[in-house]
Amino acid sequence: MKIGLWNIDHPTTNSGSQTKEDRFLAIAQYLTVADCDIYIILEANSAMSLPGYFSEFSDESPFKPLHRYYGEPNKYHQVAIYSKTPIQLLEVTEPINGLLCQVTSPFGPLTLYGNVITIKDRWVKGSKMTYTARLSEQLEAIEKVPKNMTLIGGDFNFRLGVPRWLSPHQQMLSQSLKQGLMWPTQEREDTVQHVMHTNDLTARVSLDFSIRHSATGEKRLSDHPYMGIDLNSV
């Protein structure tokens, strides 16, 4: 089955800005054309509906930079899951940066956990949470996911090849080894988006960089590449 993972940087609609409206519509069109069975969308906007998909969202984001438009119908969430089959929402201990669901797949019930290890607490007045604390939260959440037929997709805010991110990478690696999780994006140096899964699944990952903002400053659709995941059972 086809799964898409993408941090879309909270697109905005109905703001009066044609540039922002064009980006919102282009992201929705890209996802429609990709035609995945499931999407795990990070930094989402629940104003974006995809025809033919059921959807669930993490709690509304408290991370509110001043430059973003907050008028209706925009509601920003750290995680969204869209599925062509009905979604059963499951309980999580940290519902802002994590979303746990179960869907029907060709190989039986499939559990999905979407998450962001956020760096945005600097936008929350009074928050004393650090990235290290948010990492610990997500390590604990990942430890609690089901031990079979489970896919984790998220923005971990680290990638291999950056010295300051070596410690969180090593902590996540230890967690994956402890749980017997597969981590096909473990050695990637070109994205902070990651996918992990239980060992009764296989995942082939591809990235589309054509829609990511360029290094020269050209604005495209997102700061992040789109990740396509071809998921199968063992």
Q: How many domains does the chain have?
A: 1
Q: Which is more confident, 63 or 110?
A: 110
Instruction: Provide the residue range defining the domain that includes 55.
Output: 2-233
Q: What is the CATH number of the domain that holds 155?
A: 3.60.10.10
Q: Cα(40)–Cα(95) distance, rounded to whole angstroms?
A: 15
DSSP result, 7-61: E------SSS-HHHHHHHHHHHHHHHHHT-SEEEEEEEETT---TT-EEEEPSBP
Q: How big is the chain by its Cα radius of gyration, in Å? A: 17
Whether 26 shows a pLDDT value over 90: the answer reads yes
Residue 109: CB atoms within 10 A of its CB come to: 13
The pLDDT > 90 percentage for the chain reads 89
What type of residue sits at position 17?
S
Whether 65 shows a pLDDT value over 90: the answer reads no
Give the pLDDT band (50/70/90) at residue 138.
Answer: very high
| Cα 204 to Cα 4, 207, 227, 232, distances in angstroms | 12, 10, 10, 9
Judged by DSSP in three states, 101 sits in: strand
Give the pLDDT band (50/70/90) at residue 104.
Answer: very high
